Structure 1
């Protein structure tokens, strides 16, 4: 009768030892994996609004929403046809031909701020902050914040520290892009009041190939600081071509017939508060300026 008890003893010890090891393993917390500051994905230009949509997010196909969309787009389409009869952009043809100054963006109310997007390196895990609001007289745009060049602790990003303000892409009926035709002008006119920091002006035009979607034209804006306003006139011939912040070897003049957006970027590596006040962004025709392009252009097929 004692033989069965002896045969069961090793199995009982084995089960008890397994349960003991399971209790020990459950009491030990697993090592926490380092969290990245931002998920790795497709490159997004600073200032471009991000799409907060999940892959499986349902789409609203309601009748009321569809009716409102149809009403909106047909109203815009009607305005397009009426403007064509009056003249370009709703102006008489003679006035359009003799126009020498045009205000593209100005700030005359809270609705004007909806045409702009503000971003910083906080999107990639940085510590910079940027805020946009109207000035004290409600007729200007006031961009302020704090710049920090401390890179995010994700193990990959080595450089950081930028704040940017960028105009949104204008749309017409059926979500078609609306381009600004500035081919009649040759100078960018700004009225700003800064704090002495150097800024970068970014102009984005319509591209024809997919690899050109990150092409942008840049030039510098030097603010002198102080309480007085500063009128800045920059010829379009001074803008140079970059791609994701890298200056390209193959340069060409700015395409003025299809200008989409304009932006202002601060990244001078000087940590601390900043501010920039903008009254308007305009273009003008300077007849004294005859330069076509300020940089060397390489010929693809050199003459023999």
Structure 2
């Protein structure tokens, strides 16, 4: 009888606790930090890539100097002995390494990045589980948005998730497709020598982007 009474009391206590929950306890926070760039351990969650993997001459590095610094050199030239054929060179990027499971941003509507740049335009990419039909069909789906970073002071770029367009190898696909924000497998930041809004720095040369954090925001 004592065991039954203990079980009953425990169940009753749990029920009372559940009934006492407030609505705000069930609501996700207005923001959540996805990535920070303050230690070498933070940087281990990212890997670099560049056109040099395909015979290009661009290069990039990622290091800690109080915050993360993504920098390097963009070149539109190709190595003379390259066996690859590219439509264009002059790009570098950093992509988060995939961990177990998915990043679920369903409760949020905006991605925010605290950055300090060089007047160039960068590309923010969200990689989701492959469910959109693309040629080959084996790659993650990619959704991209431009991030123009003014030169000088720290700046918080806020990008609504609806602004991310589905792309395949740099080309925009059917813009009516919708992202599934609950099945995110990774994120990227990249830069091309060409492209960007009027007034942005373009062309071959040095680039430098400082990154403090990346957060998801719930603005509505």
Compare the two structures and name the one with the higher strand fraction: 2
- Cα shift at 1:99: 1.1
Q: Higher relative contact order at CA 8 Å, sep ≥6: structure 1 or structure 2?
A: 2
Gaps of at least 5 residues in structure 1 are 1-92, 172-177, 288-304
TM-score norm. by structure 1 comes to 0.57
CA contact (8 A) 1:132 1:144 kept: yes
Q: Deviations over 1:41-68 (max 9, x none)?
A: xxxxxxxxxxxxxxxxxxxxxxxxxxxx
Q: What's the RMSD between the two structures over aligned residues?
A: 1.9
Query: Which residue of structure 2 lines up, in the alignment, with residue 99 of structure 1?
Result: 29
Q: Deviations over 1:56-113 (max 9, x none)?
A: xxxxxxxxxxxxxxxxxxxxxxxxxxxxxxxxxxxxx965624111000002311111
- Cα shift at 1:157: 3.1
Query: Which residue of structure 1 lines up, in the alignment, with residue 215 of structure 2?
Result: 282
Query: Which residue of structure 2 lines up, in the alignment, with residue 193 of structure 1?
Result: 116
CA distance in 2 between partners of 1:95 and 1:149 (Å): 53
Query: Which residue of structure 1 lines up, in the alignment, with residue 129 of structure 2?
Result: 206
- Cα shift at 1:263: 0.5
Q: How does 1:229-248 map to 2 (within 5 A)?
A: 229-248=154-173
CA distance in 1 between partners of 2:50 and 2:37 (Å): 22
CA distance in 2 between partners of 1:255 and 1:98 (Å): 18
- Cα shift at 1:159: 1.8
How many residue pairs get matched?
A: 185
Compare the two structures and name the one with the higher helix fraction: 1
TM-score norm. by structure 2 comes to 0.78
Gaps of at least 5 residues in structure 2 are 1-22, 195-202
Point out the more displaced range, 243-252 or 162-171: 243-252
Flag the 1:212–1:241 CA change in 2: closer, same or farther, 3 A. farther
Query: Which residue of structure 2 lines up, in the alignment, with residue 118 of structure 1?
Result: 48
Flag the 1:95–1:133 CA change in 2: closer, same or farther, 3 A. farther
Point out the more displaced range, 195-204 or 247-256: 247-256
Q: How does 1:25-36 map to 2 (within 5 A)?
A: none
CA distance in 2 between partners of 1:98 and 1:127 (Å): 45
CA distance in 1 between partners of 2:216 and 2:35 (Å): 10
CA contact (8 A) 1:215 1:244 kept: no
